A and B are shown apart, each in its own frame.
Chain A
Amino acid sequence: MPEFVDILNAIVLFSNFVLVPAISYGAQLALGALGITLVYGILRFSNFAHGDMMAFGTMSVILITWGFQSMGISFGPLPTALLALPFGILCAIGLSLMFDKTVYKFYRVKKSAPVIFVIVSTGVMFMTNAIVRFIIGPSDQRFMDGTKFIFRPREFKEFTGLSEGLALKSTQALTLTVAIIAVAALFYFLQKTRTGKAMRAFSDNEDLALLSGINPDRVVFITWIIVAALATTAGTLYGLDKSFKPFTYFMLLLPMFAAAIVGGIGSPIGAVVGGFVIAFSEVIVTYAYKKFFIYLMPESLEPSGLMQFLSTDYKFAVSFIILVMVLLIRPTGIFKGQSI
């Protein structure tokens, strides 16, 4: 039997490399997937430009953050980007309303097939991508300031006396806090307010909603505002936690879609759950468990290999394997989304 300390060490190790990173990544994915699911539920198409809209919002936040920093404005221990976030959201709202007016509205009025919307959204994706790369460039940007860690591995070790350290980055705590606030606000809005109810009615049955006097233009308008706000928040949190690079954000589209579909596309609660499902499976499957088992197993049974199911390079692949499996076994997702 392993000693008690070893079990504790194993738990700490697991939390440090799997639990904490997966929770913060999951929260970021959930916010992104919520945007995709809302567009799907209300505007009824898969928005391939979502990742790039995230990049655009985040880029605005970064530029405004730099402006604030040069003016000497800071947010104490918290990153300045949080102060810039509302302004970045405004920029993203402006962009998405502009694209809705100039591009999507035409096809909505014509009642085009969803496929046409998908193709058009790739056009929007190209343009947004170009705008972002043109303004901020294609390379990596870091814009995190303020306190880096809530506690460092060394402090944790000294405090607990364990041989394994646990780090909690402030961005991870921040991600979770902001995500909880955003999701709570969204659910309150959807469940309790008149506009939110109108949106849900519109999503459930468009004709019926129109008959009962819901103004479709207003629903679409509000949807884009919420989607842009969610996308910018998700992008900013991801950028604070890791770094900002236009290409990475484009690639985030894939796990976000996976999250939305796994949860059940069109279902907001599904998007949140899906985000965590995807994030946890990505991290769990690609983590090397060797050290973890060394703590738990008697010496004679110690593993020889890395005990890793898949190498970390397959992270993206994991979300897609899950996606394909869900599509095959339960196409409506965990929470019955719209069956399509």
Chain B
Amino acid sequence: MNALFSQKNRAPLAFSVMALLLIAVGMGQSWPFALAIINLCLISAIMSLGVNIQWGYAGLLNLGVMGFTALGGVAAVLISEAPVLEAWSVGGQGMVVSFILVVITIVLAILVHRNMASGWARKSALSVLFVGAYFTINHFYEPSVLAIENVNPATMGFLGGLGLPIIFSWIVGGVMAAGVAWVIGKITLGLRSDYLAIATLGISEIIIAVLKNEDWIARGVKNVSGLDRRPVPYELDLQTSPWFMDMIESMFSGRLALLSDVERVAALKQLIIQGSSVFVKLCYTGLFTVVLIAILMLSIKALNSPWGRMMRAIRDNEEAANAMGKNVVRQHLQVFVLGSAVVGIAGAMLVTIDGMFIPTAYQPLRFTFLIWLMVVIGGSGNNLGAVFGGFFIWFMWIEAEPLSMAFMDLVTMGMDQASDLRNHLVKSAPQLRLFIMGLTLLLTMRFMPKGIIPEETRLHSV
């Protein structure tokens, strides 16, 4: 029995169980539903890989995952939406001026910081600089924001994007997340672990606050919906294209032949509608799998390289690594940027499949702590573990709701239909999934602290 659960067998075993679970959902509930779960499992797995790079490789406690996911999402909007030329013409100039002024301020601040001795003189010089910059920039910024937001506010009111295919945003989302991560990392990476956690948690909230309130970026709480130029065909187009209709007809020819002519037309129509939705989901599954495998291969390669060894050394004993001449802060920054970029890619993919960007949907429980569960439960430090965690926890997150509903139905079976207690219990059942998640985390931490697929113990024999 123990041999079956040995380290080596854990990964194949875990993934087979996962596959069986997904197949069970496909057979028991429906295939489109199972595919929808799989697609989000793939995205979750990528996010979890990103967090694993930070936590599993280097021991960085980044609780700002939500912020980077949202940055990826913005990238999707900025890439795929058509530019709003009118908004550019009324407010573009002011925005560009403000941007240049911000850059000048930062350069000046760095110059002051470098060239003046620390003390009250430098502090007051910096304060004067910032206060002056604030009022100067606002002079250009505020009127242009107003002008932009007044351009057709019901449908536009923002600068728009580049009007390119949305798939480019997967790369741009990664780059944007990496850029912001660099700035955040520069500021926070000197901090000890739990300070870093709190600081990143706060910064991610700031990112979301900016996205909610600065309507000129992506319409804020008015949301951007109907993102198009997606990399897969549209259901409606498929339903009218002859090759797709023929394909469905030949696939189900056996079943259709049994029906009468009138029934056959109706049944075929139904099959085509269902088939188009499955086909679109399958296209996404294919694309996402390619991205996941590419990132996974790179991660595994990186972890096994000298770079990965150095990272583990830093994680396990910072002082020793420092004494060996490794620049701990610089390596931390590097790994922080890399992990955040991966999360950004996943964030852009998420908005791509949703087709809309809703800033209020970004909540820390779902986008930060859930991803953490994936890494910790899957097995931190092990890439396959992180991927498995992404699949398993997302699956649980979705299936916990019907399961807890069923559980509550069972509990309340003997109760009176009209009793208040019963109604309350049934109504509150969906909240149980948070409970299940917390309990799973605590049980894993207690009895399987290295996760379901633990990190390989590497013994470099002398």
Contact surface of A with B, Cβ cutoff 8 Å: 45-46, 103, 106, 113-116, 118-120, 122-131, 133-135, 137-138, 250, 254, 257-258, 261, 305, 309, 311, 313-314, 316-317, 319-321, 323-324, 327-328, 331, 340
Asked if B193 lies at the interface with its beta carbon under 8 angstroms from chain A, I say yes
CA distance A328 to B364 in the complex (A): 24
Residue ID in chain A nearest B443 by CB atoms: A123
Asked if B439 lies at the interface with its beta carbon under 8 angstroms from chain A, I say yes
**Given A119-B372, A119-B376, A261-B198, A327 and B188 contact (CB-CB distance below 8 Å):** yes
Please determine whether B435 and A134 come into contact, CB atoms closer than 8 angstroms. Answer: yes
Asked if B437 lies at the interface with its beta carbon under 8 angstroms from chain A, I say yes
The answer, among A124, A133, A313, for a CB contact under 8 Å with B209, is: A313
What is the minimal beta-carbon distance from B428 to any residue of chain A, in angstroms? 5
What is the minimal beta-carbon distance from A250 to any residue of chain B, in angstroms? 8
Contact surface of B with A, Cβ cutoff 8 Å: 59, 61, 134, 142, 187-188, 191-195, 197-199, 201-203, 205-206, 209-210, 212-213, 364-365, 369, 372, 376, 427-428, 431-439, 441-442, 445-446, 449
Residues of B contacting A129 with CB < 8 Å?
365, 434, 438
**Given A114-B193, A311-B213, A320-B203, A257 and B198 contact (CB-CB distance below 8 Å):** yes
What is the minimal beta-carbon distance from B188 to any residue of chain A, in angstroms? 7
Known A-B contacts: A116-B445, A118-B194, A119-B376. Give 18 more (CB < 8 A). Answer: A46-B198, A119-B445, A120-B441, A120-B445, A123-B439, A126-B365, A126-B369, A127-B435, A130-B438, A134-B431, A134-B432, A314-B209, A319-B202, A323-B198, A323-B199, A324-B202, A328-B187, A340-B192
The answer, among A45, A103, A258, A328, for a CB contact under 8 Å with B194, is: A45
Residues of B contacting A126 with CB < 8 Å?
365, 369, 434-435, 437-438, 441
CA distance A319 to B445 in the complex (A): 32
CA distance A108 to B61 in the complex (A): 20
Residues of B contacting A250 with CB < 8 Å?
364-365
CA distance A38 to B209 in the complex (A): 30
Please determine whether B209 and A134 come into contact, CB atoms closer than 8 angstroms. Answer: no
Residues of B contacting A116 with CB < 8 Å?
445, 449
Residue ID in chain B nearest A339 by CB atoms: B192
**Given A114-B193, A129-B365, A130-B431, A123 and B205 contact (CB-CB distance below 8 Å):** no
CA distance A125 to B191 in the complex (A): 23
Residues of A contacting B202 with CB < 8 Å?
254, 257-258, 316, 319-320, 323-324
Residue ID in chain B nearest A133 by CB atoms: B431
Residues of B contacting A340 with CB < 8 Å?
192, 194-195
The answer, among B188, B191, B428, B437, for a CB contact under 8 Å with A137, is: B428
Residues of A contacting B188 with CB < 8 Å?
324, 327
The answer, among B134, B205, B438, for a CB contact under 8 Å with A127, is: B438
Please determine whether B205 and A313 come into contact, CB atoms closer than 8 angstroms. Answer: no
Please determine whether B191 and A331 come into contact, CB atoms closer than 8 angstroms. Answer: yes
When A and B form their complex, which 10 residue pairs have the shortest distance between CB atoms, in order from nearest? A126-B438, A130-B435, A320-B202, A127-B438, A130-B434, A123-B441, A133-B431, A46-B194, A123-B442, A134-B431
Residues of B contacting A317 with CB < 8 Å?
205-206, 209-210
CA distance A11 to B433 in the complex (A): 51
CA distance A123 to B443 in the complex (A): 9
Residues of A contacting B191 with CB < 8 Å?
327, 331
Residue ID in chain A nearest B445 by CB atoms: A120
CA distance A135 to B432 in the complex (A): 10
Residues of B contacting A130 with CB < 8 Å?
431-438
Q: Which of B201, B369, B438 gathers the greatest number of chain A CB atoms within 10 Å?
A: B438
